[in-house]
Structure 1
Amino acid sequence: MEYVTPRWQQRFVTTDIWSEDVLEALLKRPFFLLVGVDAPIIVRWRRYLENCKDHPIPTLEAFVSKADAHMFHPTTGLAPLFVRATVYLLNSSSSLSSLHEQLSAIDLVDETRLRPTWDAYFMQLANLAAQRSNCMKRRVGCVLVREKRVISTGYNGTPRGLTNCNEGGCTRCNGGSAGGSSLSTCLCLHAEENALLEAGRERISKGSILYCDTCPCLTCSVKIAQVGISEVVYSQAYSMDNKTAEVLSAGGVHLRQFSPPREGIVYCNDVE
């Protein structure tokens, strides 16, 4: 750590992370990215047979037993570290060239993995707001921003004073209605509506941006255009995106989809 810190703009790789204490120390630094690298057990077994011919060959059962201990031993296992990896590479590639091609495609050294862009930052806040949702149909979160400052947040659910949707407060959402149908009987406020109500018209001005983890529905789009928001950024598509885009475009609101760097499990298989 003492060596790397003054040289943080250079790229280093270490595999010397054997405990959560070591990991915690590294995670405090803004230049550290945890990447897990794994492969199916049968792939690792075949690689061992191919690359370790000069060593004693264990039985497959002994190999699996040792691999399990390496991962799941209660005090020395690496499983607690793997589950915290930002990117988890599952490497089944049969050649280095194939692996390198796929690593280039996901761009591991993308600097936004270390320090999020403003889009990523506000979208993460929208995702966090969604965790407060009580709607039985889906979680949606929203953040309203002006000059890179949060004006308000919102999530979907029943209004103040009413029983929460997930406690039976909205008959429509607790029934079998398909998404986007029977909305006239729904008692839940949408995340965008909550954020707009919280902000109030006087706090919204030209240049305000609405971040939502799901593309706004048609009804919310009309309200977004009315209050004078300049741009809507969303991450997940919805069933009426084309109609939403038409309304927002007519209202002078720019709509775009946010695509973050690829994280989680990344399958590195042979490229066909």
Structure 2
Amino acid sequence: MKEKYLEALMDMACRFGETSEATRLKVGSLLYKNDNIIALGTNGTRAGWHTNKCEDESGQTTQAVRHSEIACLDKLRKSTETSIGATLFVSHCPCLACSVELVEAGIEQVFYRHEYRSSDGIEYLKKHGIPTLKI
């Protein structure tokens, strides 16, 4: 894939993340396969949840919040497309829990822009043969 397309897709994931209702950290992701965006996700609560707030009164993330990577996979599950062989673009590198799900989903590679507080997720992806690159 050409560098300019990598940058454009990463910019799209980051821009989409800005639509998140989170106040602390807005994260966006997109899945790309066969020259098409097949799913988008942001961190936040599930549709139909009683609130869109991601943090409680003390500023801590609530248990109801799902990360953007999981939201992206959840949206894809409602389509006829499969995640096997897809590429993930995500504004912030995945946490360990999300990385486990990405491996199970058959994601082929992961591009991210910002570091996360832990590199466990990236290490897990690499350990399982999934190339990762900060762009």
Q: Quick check: TM above 0.5?
A: yes
Q: Which has the higher helix share?
A: 1
Structure 1 residue runs without a partner (length 5+): 1-115, 178-182, 259-272
Distance in 2 (alpha carbons) for counterparts of 1:157 and 1:122? 21
User: Does the 8 A contact of 1:135 with 1:158 survive in 2?
Assistant: no
Alignment of 1:89-238 (within 5 A): 117-162=4-49, 163-165=51-53, 170-171=55-56, 174-177=57-60, 185-200=62-77, 202-206=81-85, 208-238=86-116
Q: Which has the higher strand share?
A: 2
Residue 255 (str. 1) matches residue 132 (str. 2)? yes
Partner secondary structure for residue 203 of structure 1: coil
What RMSD over aligned residues (CA atoms) do the two structures have, in Å? 1.9
Regions of 4+ moved over 2 Å: none
1:235-260 CA distances to partner (integer Å, 9 max, x unpaired)? 0111112x1122102222111100xx
So what's the TM-score if we normalise by structure 2? 0.87
Distance in 2 (alpha carbons) for counterparts of 1:131 and 1:245? 23
Q: Which has the higher contact order (CA 8 A, sep 6+)?
A: 2
Report the residue type matching 1:254 in the other structure.
P
Report the residue type matching 2:30 in the other structure.
V
1:141-161 CA distances to partner (integer Å, 9 max, x unpaired)? 101000221000001111111
The alignment-based identity, stated in percent, is: 28
Query: Residue 123 of structure 2 corresponds to which residue in structure 1?
Result: 246
So what's the TM-score if we normalise by structure 1? 0.45
Query: Residue 15 of structure 1 corresponds to which residue in structure 2?
Result: none
Report the residue type matching 1:138 in the other structure.
L
Report the residue type matching 1:205 in the other structure.
I
Q: How far did 1:176 drift?
A: 4.0
User: Does the 8 A contact of 1:221 with 1:244 survive in 2?
Assistant: yes
Distance in 1 (alpha carbons) for counterparts of 2:75 and 2:106? 15
Query: Residue 100 of structure 1 corresponds to which residue in structure 2?
Result: none
Distance in 1 (alpha carbons) for counterparts of 2:35 and 2:12? 13
Q: How many residues align?
A: 130
Report the residue type matching 1:119 in the other structure.
L
Q: How far did 1:186 drift?
A: 2.2
Alignment of 1:3-152 (within 5 A): 117-152=4-39
Distance in 2 (alpha carbons) for counterparts of 1:175 and 1:209? 36
- 1:202–1:136 CA distance, 2 compared to 1 (3 A): same
1:45-68 CA distances to partner (integer Å, 9 max, x unpaired)? xxxxxxxxxxxxxxxxxxxxxxxx
Report the residue type matching 2:39 in the other structure.
S
User: Does the 8 A contact of 1:118 with 1:148 survive in 2?
Assistant: no
Distance in 2 (alpha carbons) for counterparts of 1:237 and 1:229? 19
Partner secondary structure for residue 204 of structure 1: coil
Partner secondary structure for residue 117 of structure 1: helix
1:95-115 CA distances to partner (integer Å, 9 max, x unpaired)? xxxxxxxxxxxxxxxxxxxxx
Distance in 1 (alpha carbons) for counterparts of 2:7 and 2:116? 20
